[in-house]
Amino acid sequence: MASLPLELINTCAALLLLLSFAMLSQRRVLTQVDLYAAQGLVLSVSIFITAWSTHQLHLYFSCGLTLLLKVLVLPLILRRLIHRLDANWETETLLNMPSVLLIGLLLVMFAFVLAQPISELATTLTHGTLGIALAVVMLAFLMMITRRKAVSQVVGFLAMENGLLFAAASTTYGMPMAVELGVGLDVLVGMIILGIFLFHIREQFESLDLSHLESLKED
Partner 1 sequence: MTGTHTELLGAVAIGGGWLAIGVLGLLRSHSTGWVGRALFPFGSLLGIALAAVGIIALAHGVETLILPIGLPELPFHLRLDALSAVFLVLLGATAAGVSIFAAGYFRPGEGTAPGLLGLQYHVFLASMLFVVLADDALSFMMAWESMALSSYFLVTSQHRLPEIRKAGYLYLLIAHLGAAAIVLSFGVMQGGSWQFTFEALRAAQLTPAWASMVFFLALFGFGAKAGIVPLHVWLPEAHPAAPSPVSALMSGVMLEIAVYGLLRVNLDLLQVQVWWWGLVTLGLGLLTALYGVLFAAVQTDMKRLLAYSSIENIGIIFIGLGLTLIFRSFHMPAFAALALAATLYHCLNHAFAKSLLFLGTGSVLHATGERNLGRLGGLIHRMPWVAWLALVGTLAIAGIPPFNGFVSEWLLLQSFLFTPFIPREFVNMLLPLGASGLTLAAALAAYLMVKFYGIVFLGQPREAKLAQSHDCGRLERLGLLWLASACVLLGIFPAQTLALIGQVGEELLGATTAPPLWHGLLFAPISPERAAYSPALFLLGIAVFVGLTMLIVRIAYHGRIRRAAPWVCGGFPLTPRMQDTSEGFSQPIRQIFEPFFRMRRELPSPFDAAPHYRVQIEDRIWHWLYVPVVVSVQWIARAAGMIQRGRISTYLLYSFVTLLVLLIWVL
Partner 2 sequence: MVMLLLLSAPLAGALFLGFTGNRRWAPEVNVIVSAATFVAAIWLTGFTLTMGPVLFLGQQFFVDSFNVFLVALTAFVGFTTALFSRAYMRVEVQHARIGGGRLRLYHGLYQLFIFTMLLALTTNNLGILWVALEGAMLATVLLVSLYRTPGGIEAAWKYFILCGVGITLALFGTVLLYFAASKLLGSEGTNALLWTRLEQVRGQLDARVLSLAFVFLLVGYGTKVGLVPLHHWLPDAHAEGPAPVSAVLSGLLLNVALYAVVRCKILVAGAMHSGLAGNLMMGFGMLTMTLAAFLLWRQKDIKRLFAYSSVEHMGIATFAFGMGGPVANFAALLHMTVHSLTKSSLFFTAGQAAQWAGTQVMEKIRGLLKLNPSVGWALMLGTLAILGMPPFGVFTSEFLIVITAMRDHPWATPFLLLTFVVAFGAIFFRVQAIVFGETPQPQLPRGSRLVTVFAQLALVLMLGLYIPPHLAQWYRDAAQLIG
Distance CA 171, CA 168 (A): 6
Neighbouring residues of 8: CB distance < 8 A, sequence distance ≥ 6: 46, 49
Which positions from 195 to 214 touch partner 1 by CB under 8 A, shown as an x/- string?
---------------xx-xx
Ramachandran assignment for 91, one of left (phi > 0), alpha (psi -120 to 50 degrees), beta (any other): beta
Using CB atoms within 10 Å of the CB of residue 216, give its burial: 0 to 12 exposed, 13 to 18 middle, 19+ buried: exposed
Distance CA 42, CA 66 (A): 10
With residues binned 3-state (H G I as helix, E B as strand, rest as coil), the percentages for the chain, rounded to 5, are 80, 0, 15
Cβ–Cβ under 8 Å, residues 180 and 44: no
Cβ–Cβ under 8 Å, residues 164 and 98: no
| Residues listed for the chain | 219
The footprint of partner 1 on this chain (CB under 8 A) covers a number of residues equal to 21
Distance CA 193, CA 190 (A): 5
Q: Which does 118 bind (CB under 5 to 8 A by kind): partner 2, partner 1, none?
A: partner 2
The distance of closest approach from Cβ of residue 24 to partner 1 in the complex, given in angstroms and rounded to an integer, is: 14
Q: Which does 44 bind (CB under 5 to 8 A by kind): partner 2, partner 1, none?
A: none
Q: Does 94 bind partner 1 (CB under 8 A)?
A: yes
**CA separation, residue 84 to residues 71, 72, 79, 136, 208 (Å):** 20, 18, 9, 29, 12
The distance of closest approach from Cβ of residue 126 to partner 1 in the complex, given in angstroms and rounded to an integer, is: 22
The distance of closest approach from Cβ of residue 81 to partner 1 in the complex, given in angstroms and rounded to an integer, is: 19
Which positions from 98 to 137 touch partner 1 by CB under 8 A, shown as an x/- string?
------------x--xx-----------------------
Q: Which positions from 121 through 180 interact with partner 2, judged by CB under 8 A?
A: 121-123, 134, 137, 141, 144, 150, 153, 157, 160-161, 164, 167-168, 171-173, 175-179
Q: Which positions from 186 through 215 interact with partner 2, judged by CB under 8 A?
A: 186, 189-190, 193-194, 196-197, 200-201, 204-205, 212-215
Q: Which residues contribute to the site for partner 2 (CB under 8 A)?
A: 114, 117-118, 121-123, 134, 137, 141, 144, 150, 153, 157, 160-161, 164, 167-168, 171-173, 175-179, 182-183, 185-186, 189-190, 193-194, 196-197, 200-201, 204-205, 212-216, 218-219
